[in-house]
A and B are shown apart, each in its own frame.
Chain A
Amino acid sequence: MPKVVTDIICPFCGTLCDDIECTVSDDNKTILSVKNACAIGAEKFNHQKLPGRVTRPRMRQADGSFKEVSYDEAIDWTAKMLVASKKTLMYGWASTSCQAMSIGHEIAEKVGGIVDNCATVCHGSSLIAIEDVGVPSCTLGEVKNRADRVIFWGCNPAHAHPRHMSRYSIFPRGFFTVKGHKGRKIYVVDCRYTDTAKCADTFIQVQQGYDYELLNAFRTAARGESLPDTVGGVPKEKIYEVVAELKEGRFGIIFFGMGLTHTMGRNHNIDIAINLTRDMNDFTKFSIMAMRGHWNVTGSGQVLGWQYGFPYAVDLSRRDQARHQTGETTSVDLLVRNEVEACFYIATDPGAHFPVDAMISSSKKPTVTVDPHINCTTEISDIHIPVAMVGVETGGCAYRMDNVPIETRKVVDAPEGMLTDEELLTRINKRVDELMAAGGA
């Protein structure tokens, strides 16, 4: 008899929905159907049963082809690579559990690795801004229960975080928001008319590259100062009108995404958005939140935070000190400047996200990729070590975009004999110890 597993956490995006239900085959091996998830979330669960899944490590041969090897061989090769390299880029972590990260950091500290996560190519600029000016924020439940003014700035949850709007930000009825959508004013600020904009009461089209100026104009308007006729293509009347509406609200929130972090100004855009939020707290209650992408990229920042005091790009290569300096200890810069000797990728796909130059540099170095599936990065690696899917075939802690930690669940068994990230890293750690005790370093 197939059984139903409830309260499953979706290991796909930073919304981290925790109400997924799966029907699972009698033998606990296959997910038969997925309920409540959005299309991209469901796809992640369905990946589990795709035919042709790699279940054992593969090592590159002289002729360029891959050959299956045992976990022991792969672990030995990886440990030797880590011990031999004086500076290894250990990048990824956004799709694994915090428990696995912790073991990874222990290894990095021993071998002198640089631990970096996907923030380095997405919300790193937000983290820099927060390091500069702080951040007034809240949990997503606060948005659901209180928010009557919601701004989406440079983000498109309709595609990137599909259930965000129904669970937290636009549609739900909460304690003080009994009217749901009707009681909220929704604003979308973007340079193009997105699917999220279709849900907005007000769409503000900002000229590409003028977000900083427009945010500055919002601050100016909030202080009652005068504005030029248009800012970033938006008429000043519109700006005054929106700011007046925001002030009339009881609880406002700005959600922002790549449209703000990766356009001209970058961390300064976030910086001024945070300062606008801060200013608005002189008139009403206001919060701001980054729409974090990968489901546990936030968790990586947390674990690095409590272990080393920095949220990403943590350079442990001195072995007695942790360093963090954007542009210096960040993955893409390290690769482009050819400053690392080896690459260890886990739980993400830099091959699909990093600039070409960085990946060309990477492809010339000894490389190990740990990932449940074949991806762009596995194909330029010396070894691909497949592992159980975290959040589907094994549990572990993850942090939602509002930093709320949720323990993901195991739904089905991993294919026979496959290791989890935690098991694999524990064994690599042990092998590193053996090699170092034998004078390997």
Chain B
Amino acid sequence: MSEYIIKNGHVFDPVQGLKGDKADISVKDGKIVDKAGSGAKVIDAKGKTVMAGALEVHAHVAGPKVNAGRWYRPEDKHFDSHKKPGITRIEGGKSIPTVFKTGYEYARMGFTFAMEAAMPPLYARHVHEEIHDTPIIDEAALPVFGNNWFVFEYLKNKEIENAAAYISWVMRQTKGYGIKVVNPGGTEAWAWGLNCLTINDPVPYFDITPAEIMNGLMAANEYLGLPHSMHVHQNSLGNPGNYEVTLDTLKLAEGVKPKNNFGREQVMHSTHLQFHSYGGDNWGNFESKAKEVMDYVNKQDNITIDTGNVTLDETTTMTADGPFEHHLHGLNHLKWINVDVELETAAGVVPYIYDPNIKVCAIQWCIGLELALYAKDPMRCFITTDHPNAGPFTRYPRVYSWLMSKKVRDERLNTFKNADKVISATNLAELDREITLYELAAMTRAGPAKALGLSKDYGGLKPGMNADIAIYDINPDKFPSSGPEIEKAFGNAAYLFKDGKICVQDGKIVDFGNKHTFWVDAKVKENKLVVRDIREKFLRYYSVNEANYPVPESYAPHQHIITVDATQA
């Protein structure tokens, strides 16, 4: 394998505390090393920014609802859907790009990993088929557990060990990475057209509450010692006044201790917090509660969050929060897809236009930015757009420009049609903070890597770590002052190394690298009861046989398996 020395770049790496220091990075055999051989190829990074490859902590990029969004929206292909010159395939779609475009676009922006945020176990094969076809970037997927009948039954009786054994079984069958929870209990209620809007609303028939589900899943997560924590999309998403439910949920983590061998310190990752930080009690007095929510998050070391920044685009919302999508359809009357999945979950899809002329959309935009700007510890606050829910991931460079330049974001804020009303319903105008390149490296590299339990090999540039490296045409001494310049630099990496191979050069894809699928194999003690329960549920309630449930090896030909031993737990 080729060796490289990346010379004279400004290196930003929270793992080593490098804050733009000029340093040389050497690459050999896919790893970062102290010193490359004399034959190493020299990459001149003078006047450029060097960071580790970025990690996407939460996006909907592969699977049944993503694909429904793609094919039922032919109009989404009207924009920007061409093959670019070179080795790439045809690229299609704007808010929900095809798999090819997804891989290329992440790579062009300097990303080397993306987490598919919601995998229905019954559809795991579909998720992996798409992951398999997505070039360059490493990927993993989180199976959803928050509305699963097995989980309800075990947790109702406080059987953490059985819940953990079942979870480990599902993760192995589906090649899943961790425990995702979406609208706990509410999505099962939706199978009868109902919902759970607080953490104490009982789930119809199952006699359990969202709080009990989340407490139990956090306990099971730590019992297994998984690399990632419970990853939660809370109840009452998108509703005015929901920040109280948000605080109630976050408080569930109080006193819960992380237990794992991966250096992970949080026990709850609360995702797309923008959608959960709303005040007011109707759309008229809708306002930001980002400060209240972040004041709490800042105090609690065992919580991580991601933002879910609204990008002010036409997009396609999609979530396992089935009742929410029905509700949204009731608001905007755009075409609605719903899929209820036996014993496990549901999903909905509705297009949405975040119109900057609409006050609520502009306030949502402010809230997402406020969350990041209020974050005291950038290692616990990650930037996302909950792609494609608050906007497509391809808008990250624009989100960075708003966060990194007070001037750029004020230009946007002050030109909203309802600027006065927006400003009075939010705190953004008063915030002067500008996220630095070092903080950005924490929010998009080192932080997510640590939260995902991948910090040993990813998210940094220390010798021994994986050689996933992004070089941007940004001179930190002359940081670009206009939005478009910032966007261009972050949208077109000067170089992207993936596993020590150059995959992007000057914003162009030059190699497809070695894509890997990550999944977690958690070993537990033999559990006859759980084996019997699984057999019984498949015989009586599932529409497929147990033997046809697992995802075969061939779907993840290049797998990176993280093994966890919970047999002694």
- CB <8 Å contact, B343 and A141: yes
Nearest chain B CB to A396 CB, angstrom units: 9
Residues 61-109 (chain B) with a chain A CB within 8 angstroms: 62, 64, 66-68, 70-74, 76-77, 81-83, 89-90, 92-93, 96, 98-100
Residues 334-356 (chain B) with a chain A CB within 8 angstroms: 334-343, 346, 349-350
- CB <8 Å contact, A133 and B335: yes
- Indicate if B23 sits at the interface (CB-CB under 8 A): no
Given A133-B335, A134-B336, A308-B98: A6 touches B71 (CB 8 Å cut-off): no
11 contacts between A and B (CB under 8 A): A127-B71, A131-B71, A131-B73, A135-B337, A135-B338, A138-B346, A144-B541, A308-B98, A309-B70, A319-B83, A322-B81
Stretch at the interface among A72-80, A225-233, A403-411: A403-411
Nearest chain A CB to B324 CB, angstrom units: 14
- Indicate if B157 sits at the interface (CB-CB under 8 A): no
CB contact between B543 and one of A144, A146, A278 (< 8 Å): that residue: A144
Q: How far is the CA of A174 from the CA of B341 in the complex (A)?
A: 14
Residues 237-257 (chain A) with a chain B CB within 8 angstroms: 250-251
- CB <8 Å contact, A305 and B70: yes
- CB <8 Å contact, B90 and A109: yes
Residues 155-192 (chain B) with a chain A CB within 8 angstroms: 191-192
Given A133-B335, A309-B76: A405 touches B126 (CB 8 Å cut-off): yes
- Indicate if B331 sits at the interface (CB-CB under 8 A): no
- CB <8 Å contact, A130 and B72: yes
- Indicate if B476 sits at the interface (CB-CB under 8 A): no
- CB <8 Å contact, A324 and B74: yes
CB contact between B122 and one of A109, A139, A278, A319 (< 8 Å): that residue: A139
Nearest chain A CB to B384 CB, angstrom units: 22
- CB <8 Å contact, A307 and B125: no
Beyond contacts A141-B341, A142-B340, A309-B81: 8 other A-B pairs, Cβ-Cβ < 8 A, are: A134-B72, A140-B342, A301-B71, A302-B71, A309-B93, A322-B81, A324-B77, A405-B126
Residues 501-543 (chain B) with a chain A CB within 8 angstroms: 540-543
* Contact mask for chain B residues 194-208; partner A; CB cutoff 8 A; 1 contact, 0 none: 000000000001000
Q: How far is the CA of A272 from the CA of B523 in the complex (A)?
A: 50
- Indicate if B563 sits at the interface (CB-CB under 8 A): no
Complex contacts, A310 vs chain B, CB 8 Å: 71, 74, 77
Q: How far is the CA of A146 from the CA of B191 in the complex (A)?
A: 9
Q: How far is the CA of A309 from the CA of B94 in the complex (A)?
A: 10
Complex contacts, A320 vs chain B, CB 8 Å: 82-83, 90
- CB <8 Å contact, A309 and B349: no
Nearest chain B CB to A183 CB, angstrom units: 15
- Indicate if A287 sits at the interface (CB-CB under 8 A): yes
Q: How far is the CA of A406 from the CA of B123 in the complex (A)?
A: 9
Q: How far is the CA of A131 from the CA of B71 in the complex (A)?
A: 8
Residues 99-138 (chain A) with a chain B CB within 8 angstroms: 102, 106, 109, 127, 130-138
- CB <8 Å contact, A167 and B543: yes
CB contact between A145 and one of B82, B96, B99, B342 (< 8 Å): that residue: B342
Binding site for A on B (CB under 8 A): 62, 64, 66-68, 70-74, 76-77, 81-83, 89-90, 92-93, 96, 98-100, 122-123, 125-126, 129-130, 133, 149, 191-193, 205, 326, 329, 334-343, 346, 349-350, 540-545, 547-548, 552
Q: How far is the CA of A323 from the CA of B83 in the complex (A)?
A: 12
- CB <8 Å contact, A404 and B337: no
Nearest chain B CB to A249 CB, angstrom units: 11
- CB <8 Å contact, A141 and B90: no
Interface residues on A, range: 35 or more
- CB <8 Å contact, B123 and A102: no
- CB <8 Å contact, A302 and B67: yes
**Residue ID in chain A nearest B127 by CB atoms:** A405
Given A18-B545, A308-B92, A320-B83: A251 touches B192 (CB 8 Å cut-off): yes
Complex contacts, B543 vs chain A, CB 8 Å: 139-141, 144, 167-168, 404
**Residue ID in chain A nearest B126 by CB atoms:** A405
**Residue ID in chain A nearest B84 by CB atoms:** A320
- CB <8 Å contact, A131 and B74: yes
**Residue ID in chain B nearest A316 by CB atoms:** B90
- CB <8 Å contact, A404 and B544: yes
**Residue ID in chain A nearest B83 by CB atoms:** A320
**Residue ID in chain A nearest B205 by CB atoms:** A176
Nearest chain A CB to B367 CB, angstrom units: 28
Nearest 8 A/B pairs, CB to CB: A141-B342, A134-B335, A141-B543, A305-B71, A138-B340, A136-B338, A7-B547, A320-B83
Complex contacts, B77 vs chain A, CB 8 Å: 309-310, 322, 324
Q: How far is the CA of A133 from the CA of B350 in the complex (A)?
A: 10
Q: How far is the CA of A140 from the CA of B337 in the complex (A)?
A: 16
- CB <8 Å contact, B90 and A321: yes
A145, A146, A402: residue with the most chain B Cβ atoms closer than 10 Å: A145
Complex contacts, B98 vs chain A, CB 8 Å: 306-309
Q: How far is the CA of A258 from the CA of B182 in the complex (A)?
A: 37
Complex contacts, B92 vs chain A, CB 8 Å: 308-309, 322
- Indicate if A82 sits at the interface (CB-CB under 8 A): no
Residues 1-49 (chain A) with a chain B CB within 8 angstroms: 6-7, 9, 18-19
Q: How far is the CA of A7 from the CA of B544 in the complex (A)?
A: 9
Complex contacts, A322 vs chain B, CB 8 Å: 77, 81, 90, 92
Complex contacts, A137 vs chain B, CB 8 Å: 337-340
Given A144-B541, A308-B98, A405-B123: A397 touches B335 (CB 8 Å cut-off): no
* Contact mask for chain A residues 387-423; partner B; CB cutoff 8 A; 1 contact, 0 none: 0000000000101001111110000000000000000
Residues 151-185 (chain A) with a chain B CB within 8 angstroms: 167-168, 174-176
CB contact between A306 and one of B67, B540, B544 (< 8 Å): that residue: B67
- CB <8 Å contact, B342 and A285: no
Nearest chain A CB to B501 CB, angstrom units: 22
Q: How far is the CA of A184 from the CA of B205 in the complex (A)?
A: 20
- CB <8 Å contact, A98 and B123: no
Complex contacts, B349 vs chain A, CB 8 Å: 134
Complex contacts, B350 vs chain A, CB 8 Å: 134
